[in-house]
Structures are given as structure tokens and as C-alpha cells.
Amino acid sequence: MTEDDYYVLLIIISIIGFTLLIAFAIYFLYLPAIRANDYFNQIFETGEDALDKAVDIAKQISITNVQTQAFIIGFCGFNDLLTPDEKNTLWGTSFDEFCDNLDIELPDSCC
């Protein structure tokens, strides 16, 4: 073999080595990165769904709280309109102190 044959063989080995390097880089770096990206997207979507559900629960709690406040204010207004005889017939004076100490204001909007 001449010196030129060694250079041709070196070039062929270099091309094969470079091709194998690219193939291994794609297999061991690029494909796992794509899989990891898919996993992260699933995790973020699950987290986003959980946050949306938590926000919906918080809104429902807020609406329920406003409805409860409105009911209590309405009940205390009804209790104030009753005569003492009607109060004694229904429940006595058990709600008078509760309604007198009530510190709730009905918000302008419930939603």
C-alpha cells in the first residue's frame, strides 16, 4: 500500500466515524430529549388541569359563601320583622343575639 492509499483509507474511516457519531448523537441525545419533552408537556398539562380545577373549586366556594351570607342576612331580616309572640312560637329568642352580633355585609355581586 502506498501513502495515498493510507490517506484514502483514513478519509473513508473518518467519514464512517463521523456518520456513526451523528447516528449515536441522534439516538442517545436527540430522541431522549424528544421523549423528555413529551413527558414534560404531559406533566405541565396535568398541572394546568389541576390548577384549573382548584380555581373552579375556589370560585364555587366563593359563590357558596356569598349565598350563605345572603341567606343569613335574609333570615335575620325575617327574624327582625317577627313580633315577639311569633318568635316565641317559632324559635324563641335563640336567634336574636346571633343576628344582633352579625357582622356580615352582602357583596354587590355574587360571581
For residue 106 the three cell numbers come to: 352582602
CA-based Rg of the chain, rounded to a whole angstrom? 38
Phi and psi, residue 109, nearest 5°: -135, 145
Best CA proximity match to 77, nearest among 48, 106, 34, 55: 106
Please check whether residue 72 lies inside any domain of the structure: yes
Virtual torsion, Cα 98, 103, 106, 111, nearest 10 deg: -100
Q: Which residues of 51-68 are buried (b: 16+ CB within 10 A; e: fewer)?
A: eeeeeeeeeeeeeeeeee
Quote the number of domains for the chain.
Answer: 1
Please check whether residue 106 lies inside any domain of the structure: no
How confident is the prediction along the chain (111 residues), in pLDDT tens digits per residue?
788 888 999 999 999 999 999 999 999 988 899 999 999 999 999 999 999 999 999 999 989 988 888 888 888 888 888 888 888 888 887 888 888 887 776 666 555
Please check whether residue 85 lies inside any domain of the structure: yes
For residue 6 the three cell numbers come to: 493510507
pTM higher than the cut 0.85: no
Domain of 38, in residue numbers: 3-100
pLDDT for res 18? 95
Please check whether residue 49 lies inside any domain of the structure: yes
